[in-house]
Each structure stands twice: as structure tokens, then as C-alpha cells.
């Protein structure tokens, strides 16, 4: 992409997602993990608009950011130094409270606000291209309206608006409307989910619901979004399969009806966010970057669809020519730069008969809910959930891994001594499989647990990726001095090397007479005889992923 083309694209994107631009610019990472920074930017109010007007400068900065390894090239002060317009603070003008502004809502005196800007547009009303619709905004912010009528969001309109500027809206009265457009179509969610972030929506399955069902009900399945949920129609959805070979690319589009013609399969598989249990890692060692998941970023479902392998072979992919090749999955979810979500897995993993990678349309017997990829998603069992791309619109067989920042700058494996300055993302192994882990779901930390017959019932889940089955779960009530064998309460059948479901377990742990508190440790062993590390110290990593140390829970005993 030439610089010129890039800047043009920047301007277009700024218009589309203008309120998000500064946040995303601040980092090549996605913004959801960075609430502090996001809040800081919001305080600057007009920075978004300023960025619009200063798009050449910012565009160049973005480019520098993208080309370099530093993730924070575009700093706040750069944006501050820009000429702030279209809603920025104007120290030279008086400040109004919202109730004062609201009085000016008639043809005779018609004020509106935009972020910190207060505008008297009385004289403009007659020439408003949209006619009298504008009257609805009298005495109010135009922003919610413009979120719907996005044609306002052009450089010309913002310039024009600033010509009517008469003052600043009081800080306390500035309402953040910035998200409304992007998030307006988010699906309804079950109130029982444990919300970690709202925008994008990231929420855990509550522990008591994890152990209540082998297949987590769809509405309780944990949700991990990077962006707003796209709204897609099953009837018109197309999956483009592209095969790149020696600089050439051939593509073919499949409707869901086309995909249905391949053999239908079902797969019981857990999906787990690579950052599951990050909060424990943060607490035991030091904070790592990412959503503060407890142990609820894993659920299990019965997925239905067709095997990606079948579709790729149908498209002429050579099963014997996999070395160094990748399958890139692209979702319909788009970030603020206009980039679709994308990540990849090795082609060998996609084609392995045992890997059972699905193009799934159904989840627990029902159409995929919007939060889980309606109408089509990849399910890459045994891999971190990020590889199971939702709202799947393109699959590309390529000689390169996905170039997206989600793939290149995240979900990679580092040792505990690597920091952000020393992290070599290009050289670090991408995470394509999940290690064995386990967690206590009941009792929870700090809860009161009933003692019956001298024992307390401890329940939880265990899981291992890469096709391995959990074959043993051990529980210790005394800091590892003795270990009790937990019994599986729910587990899928034996399919050596192709086992992708979790295992639910229970253990009746003996209580000592007079004991009023207990710390239990749990660890699982999988069919490759891998087991969990005892503590987080040596597996800590900058992204806080793969936190599979023993789960340690302390609770009160109720005799």
C-alpha cells in the first residue's frame, strides 16, 4: 500500500470509526485490554476530531507504528499538540451547563452540542440538507443522531460545525456517545454471565454453571470478543476459500447450503481462551496484559458442521504439501482500522484427520448464537479459542501465517523473563494447542462449604488440548502432602489422540475434626501424561496466557 493510499484509507476509516481511532492508534494491540488508556483518551474529547483533521500527520504515525515493533509510537501528546476542533476544548470561549444549552431548542434559538463544543446553529437551520429532522436535536448533542446518520461524519461537516462554535460544554455534562453506533447491535446476553468487559463483550461462564452441564448451555457459554458483534444473514452468507500458491491465488465462494453438501459431523469440544485463569497468574506473580479472567473462560459444547479438511480437499488442497503452509481464518468482525479479525493455524493441523477442525453452523443442536459466530465459525478443537474464528467469511491456504496483529502480536509463547521490550514476536512460537489444566468450581474461594459425613464435596473441570484426554485428576487437601483421586462425573468416550471435550470431576475430601478452613489444590494429568506446573512463577508471561498452574482454593468449612 502506498503512503498516499494508506492515508486515504485512514481518512475513510476515521470517518467510519472516528471515535475509536485514537485508542487503536495508541497501540498495535486491540484496545479492549486497555481500559485505562481508553478512558484517558476519552477525556480529551475532541481528540478524535482533531485526529481527523490531522489525518496526514496521524496517518504517517500509524504507518510508523505498524512498520516498527514499538506499540506506542502514537502518544497522547502528539494528539494534544494538534489543533483541536470539532468538539475539542476552546479555552477562549465561555462554559455552559447542559441545562442552559437545553433551553435553546427552538427555531428562534437553536443550540446543539458535540462533545465539548456548544454551537448556535440557529442560522444554519434553513439550509440543513436533512430538513426538519434536525429539530430533534435542539438543545442536545448531535452525536447520537450522527451515529445513525453517518453521512455527517465528513471533514467538511466538522469544519462547518466549528464555524458556529460559541462555547464549551461543562466537563460534567459531556456524555460519551462514542460507542453507540458500533455497539448498537450487540446481542442480548444472559444476566448470569460474569462480565469482565462490556465493550467488547467478554464474560465468563459462572463456575456453578460450568459443572452443572457437560455441554454448557449456549446462553451460558463464555464469550470472548475482540470487536463489536457483526450482524450476518445465514441465507446470504458466503465463505470464500482461497488457495495461494507461488504468488497466484484461486478463490471459490461457498454458501452455507453449499457447505451443507459435505458430510455432516458433530464434535464435543471445549473452547478455552488462552488467557483463562490470568487473574491467578497476575495475583501470584505480577500483572500481565489482558482480560482479568478467572477460571470461567472455558465451556464445552457439541458443535455441528462439516470438516474443513473435506472442504479444502474438495478445493484441491494437496494433503502431502503442507510443510510451512497455513490456513488463515478471517472473521466478519472489523476493528477500528477497518481490518477484519484474522488468525491462522498450520495447514497440517487443518488437514489432519484427527484434528477434526470444523466449519460449524450449530452449537448444542441450535443455530450458532450471534455471540458465538452466527452463522458460521471455525472450531479448532484443542487450540486456544482465538483460532476458532467466529463469523467466518474467508479461509485462505497460504505460505504465510496470518499477518494480522492478533496473530503476529498475540497468542505467542514467551518465557517468564521476556518483557515487552525484549519480546521477539516474530521469533516466538504461536500457540496452537492448549496445555492440561484444571480448576475447582465449587467451593469457590472464600465460600462456606458444607461438611457431610466428615467430607466436603469439591467439584470442577479439567481439560487438555491437542487431542489429549484427561486421565487423572488429583486433589490435595494439605498442600501436596497427600493426593486423592477425583472421580470423573462427566466425560466423553475414549478417542485416543482426538479427544477434545473437557472432563467434569468430583472429589469427597476428608475433613479433619475441628478443621474450619481448607485449601485444596487440584492438578490433572492427560493421556500424554503431561501434568500441570505447581505454581505460576516459572510460566508467567507478558500476555498472561497458558496459566495452568495447580488451582488452589481456600474455603470455610461449615460443620
Active site residues: 128, 152, 224, 273, 411
Q: Please choose, out of 183-191, 249-257, 450-458, 477-485, the segment that lies near a copy of itself by the rule CB under 8 A.
A: 477-485
Which of residues 35, 109, 251, 415 is near a copy of itself by CB under 8 A? Answer: 415
Write out the three cell numbers for 353: 484427520
Residue closer to a copy of itself, measured from CB, 458 or 468? 468
Judged by CB under 8 A, does residue 331 bind a copy of itself? no
Binding mask 417-436 toward a copy of itself (x if CB under 8 A, else -) reads x-----------x-xxxxxx
Judged by CB under 8 A, does residue 496 bind a copy of itself? yes
Residue closer to a copy of itself, measured from CB, 405 or 472? 472
Least separation, in Å, of the C-beta of 537 and a copy of itself?
7
Q: Is 14 helix (H, G, I), strand (E, B) or coil?
A: helix
Judged by CB under 8 A, does residue 290 bind a copy of itself? no
Which of residues 332, 349, 364, 503 is near a copy of itself by CB under 8 A? Answer: 349
Beta bridge partners of 77: none
Residue closer to a copy of itself, measured from CB, 20 or 461? 461
Which of residues 36, 156, 323, 517 is near a copy of itself by CB under 8 A? Answer: 323
Residue closer to a copy of itself, measured from CB, 6 or 483? 483
Which of residues 224, 498, 543, 552 is near a copy of itself by CB under 8 A? Answer: 498
Residue closer to a copy of itself, measured from CB, 50 or 380? 380
Judged by CB under 8 A, does residue 264 bind a copy of itself? no
Distance (Å, whole) CA 502 – CA 479: 25
- CA 101, 106, 108, 114 dihedral sign is positive
CA neighbor of 294 nearest in space, from 552, 522, 95? 552
Judged by CB under 8 A, does residue 64 bind a copy of itself? no
Write out the three cell numbers for 137: 436535536
Least separation, in Å, of the C-beta of 358 and a copy of itself?
16
Least separation, in Å, of the C-beta of 264 and a copy of itself?
15
Which of residues 101, 203, 311, 355 is near a copy of itself by CB under 8 A? Answer: 355
How far are the Cα atoms of 436, 531, 554 from residue 483, in angstroms, in the given order?
18, 14, 16
* Count of residues of this chain found to bind a copy of itself when the rule CB under 8 A is applied: 57
Q: Please choose, out of 160-168, 254-262, 449-457, 476-484, the segment that lies near a copy of itself by the rule CB under 8 A.
A: 476-484
Q: For cell 455441554, name the residue.
A: 215
Burial of 368 (0-12, 13-18, 19+ CB in 10 A): buried
DSSP string computed for 205-267? PPHHHHTT-SS--GGGS-EE-SSPPP---TTT-EEEEEEEETTEEEEEEEEHHHHHTSPEEEE
Strands, sheet with 165-169, edge to edge from the N-terminal-most edge strand: 95-96, 165-169, 117-120, 111-114
Phi-psi region of 218 (alpha: psi -120 to 50; beta: other; left: phi over 0): alpha
Least separation, in Å, of the C-beta of 376 and a copy of itself?
24
Write out the three cell numbers for 409: 502480536
Judged by CB under 8 A, does residue 529 bind a copy of itself? yes
Which of residues 5, 353, 448, 514 is near a copy of itself by CB under 8 A? Answer: 353
User: What single-letter DSSP state applies at residue 19?
Assistant: T
Q: Please choose, out of 101-109, 180-188, 261-269, 344-352, the segment that lies near a copy of itself by the rule CB under 8 A.
A: 344-352
How far are the Cα atoms of 310, 461, 540, 544 from residue 282, in angstroms, in the given order?
42, 21, 8, 7
Q: Is 147 helix (H, G, I), strand (E, B) or coil?
A: helix
Q: For cell 475447582, name the residue.
A: 440
Residue closer to a copy of itself, measured from CB, 35 or 482? 482
The answer to whether 121 and 164 have CB atoms below 8 angstroms apart is: yes
Which of residues 331, 382, 477, 544 is near a copy of itself by CB under 8 A? Answer: 382
Residue closer to a copy of itself, measured from CB, 365 or 496? 496
Contacts of 24 (CB under 8 A, 6+ apart): 30, 31, 335, 336, 337
Least separation, in Å, of the C-beta of 485 and a copy of itself?
6
Least separation, in Å, of the C-beta of 252 and a copy of itself?
25
CA neighbor of 308 nearest in space, from 416, 368, 389? 389
Q: Please choose, out of 90-98, 180-188, 289-297, 349-357, the segment that lies near a copy of itself by the rule CB under 8 A.
A: 349-357
Least separation, in Å, of the C-beta of 360 and a copy of itself?
20
Distance (Å, whole) CA 523 – CA 465: 15
Distance (Å, whole) CA 122 – CA 103: 13
Judged by CB under 8 A, does residue 480 bind a copy of itself? yes
Write out the three cell numbers for 17: 470509526
The answer to whether 339 and 29 have CB atoms below 8 angstroms apart is: no
Which helix (H) or strand (E) segment holds residue 176: the answer is none
Binding mask 455-474 toward a copy of itself (x if CB under 8 A, else -) reads ---------xxxxx--xx-x
Which of residues 237, 356, 523, 551 is near a copy of itself by CB under 8 A? Answer: 523
End-to-end CA distance of the chain: 69
Judged by CB under 8 A, does residue 530 bind a copy of itself? yes
Write out the three cell numbers for 132: 426538519
Least separation, in Å, of the C-beta of 346 and a copy of itself?
4
Least separation, in Å, of the C-beta of 383 and a copy of itself?
9
Site of interaction with a copy of itself (CB under 8 A): 323-324, 346, 348-349, 352-355, 382, 413, 415-417, 429, 431-436, 464-468, 471-472, 474, 476, 480, 482-485, 493-498, 523, 525-535, 537-539, 546
Amino acid at each position: 500500500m502506498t503512503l498516499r493510499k494508506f492515508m486515504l484509507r485512514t481518512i475513510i476509516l476515521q470517518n467510519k470509526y472516528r471515535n475509536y481511532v485514537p485508542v487503536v492508534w495508541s497501540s498495535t494491540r486491540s484496545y479492549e485490554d486497555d481500559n485505562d488508556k481508553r478512558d484517558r483518551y476519552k477525556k480529551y474529547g475532541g481528540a478524535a476530531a482533531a485526529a481527523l483533521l490531522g489525518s496526514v500527520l496521524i496517518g504517517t504515525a500509524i504507518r510508523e507504528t505498524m512498520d516498527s515493533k514499538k506499540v506506542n509510537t502514537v502518544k497522547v501528546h502528539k494528539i494534544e499538540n494538534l489543533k483541536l476542533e470539532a468538539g475539542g476544548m476552546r479555552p477562549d470561549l465561555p462554559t455552559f451547563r447542559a441545562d442552559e444549552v437545553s433551553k435553546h431548542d427552538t427555531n428562534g434559538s437553536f443550540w446543539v452540542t458535540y462533545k465539548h463544543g456548544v454551537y448556535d446553529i440557529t442560522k444554519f437551520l434553513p439550509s440543513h440538507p436533512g430538513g426538519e429532522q434536525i429539530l430533534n436535536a435542539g438543545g442536545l448533542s448531535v452525536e447520537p443522531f450522527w451515529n445513525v446518520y453517518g453521512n455527517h461524519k465528513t471533514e467538511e461537516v466538522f469544519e462547518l460545525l466549528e464555524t458556529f462554535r460559541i462555547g464549551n460544554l461543562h466537563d460534567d455534562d459531556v456524555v460519551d456517545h462514542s460507542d453507540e453506533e458500533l455497539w448498537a447491535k450487540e446481542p442480548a446476553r444472559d444476566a448470569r454471565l460474569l462480565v469482565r468487559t462490556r465493550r467488547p463483550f467478554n464474560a465468563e461462564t459462572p463456575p456453578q454453571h460450568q459443572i452443572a452441564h457437560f455441554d454448557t448451555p449456549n446462553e451460558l457459554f463464555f464469550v470472548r470478543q475482540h470487536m463489536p458483534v457483526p450482524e450476518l444473514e445465514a441465507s446470504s452468507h458466503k465463505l470464500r476459500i482461497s488457495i495461494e500458491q507461488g504468488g497466484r491465488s484461486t478463490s471459490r465462494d461457498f454458501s452455507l447450503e453449499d457447505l451443507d453438501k459435505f458430510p455432516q459431523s458433530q464434535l464435543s469440544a471445549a473452547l478455552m481462551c488462552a488467557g483463562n485463569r490470568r487473574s491467578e497468574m497476575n495475583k501470584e506473580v505480577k500483572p500481565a496484559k489482558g482480560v482479568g479472567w478467572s477460571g470461567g473462560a472455558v465451556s464445552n459444547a457439541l458443535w455441528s458442521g462439516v470438516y474443513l479438511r473435506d472442504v479444502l480437499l474438495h478445493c484441491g488442497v494437496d494433503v502431502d504439501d503442507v510443510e510451512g503452509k497455513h490456513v488463515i481464518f478471517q472473521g466478519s468482525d472489523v476493528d477500528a482500522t477497518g481490518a477484519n479479525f484474522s488468525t491462522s493455524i498450520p495447514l497440517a493441523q487443518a488437514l489432519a484427520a484427527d484434528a477434526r477442525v470444523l466449519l460449524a453452523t450449530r452449537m448444542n443442536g441450535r443455530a450458532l448464537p450471534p455471540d458465538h459466530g452466527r452463522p458460521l465459525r471455525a472450531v479448532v478443537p484443542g487450540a486456544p479459542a482465538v483460532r476458532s474464528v467466529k463469523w467466518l467469511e474467508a479461509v485462505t491456504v497460504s505460505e504465510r501465517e496470518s499477518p494480522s496483529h492478533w496473530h503476529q502480536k498475540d497468542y505467542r509463547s514467551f518465557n517468564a523473563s521476556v518483557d515487552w521490550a525484549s519480546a521477539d514476536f516474530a521469533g516466538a512460537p504461536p500457540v496452537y494447542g492448549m496445555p492440561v489444566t484444571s480448576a475447582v468450581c465449587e467451593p469457590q474461594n472464600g465460600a462456606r462449604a458444607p461438611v457431610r459425613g466428615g467430607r466436603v464435596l469439591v467439584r470442577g473441570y479439567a481439560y487438555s488440548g491437542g487431542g489429549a484426554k484427561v486421565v487423572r485428576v488429583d486433589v490435595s487437601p494439605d498442600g501436596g502432602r497427600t493426593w486423592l483421586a477425583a472421580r470423573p462425573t462427566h466425560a466423553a468416550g475414549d478417542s485416543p489422540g482426538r479427544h477434545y471435550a473437557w472432563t467434569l470431576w468430583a472429589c469427597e475430601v476428608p475433613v479433619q475434626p475441628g478443621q474450619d478452613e481448607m485449601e485444596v489444590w487440584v492438578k490433572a494429568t492427560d493421556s500424554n501424561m503431561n501434568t500441570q506446573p505447581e505454581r505460576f512463577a516459572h510460566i508467567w508471561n507478558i500476555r498472561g496466557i497458558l496459566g495452568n498452574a495447580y488451582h488452589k482454593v481456600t474455603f470455610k468449612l461449615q460443620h
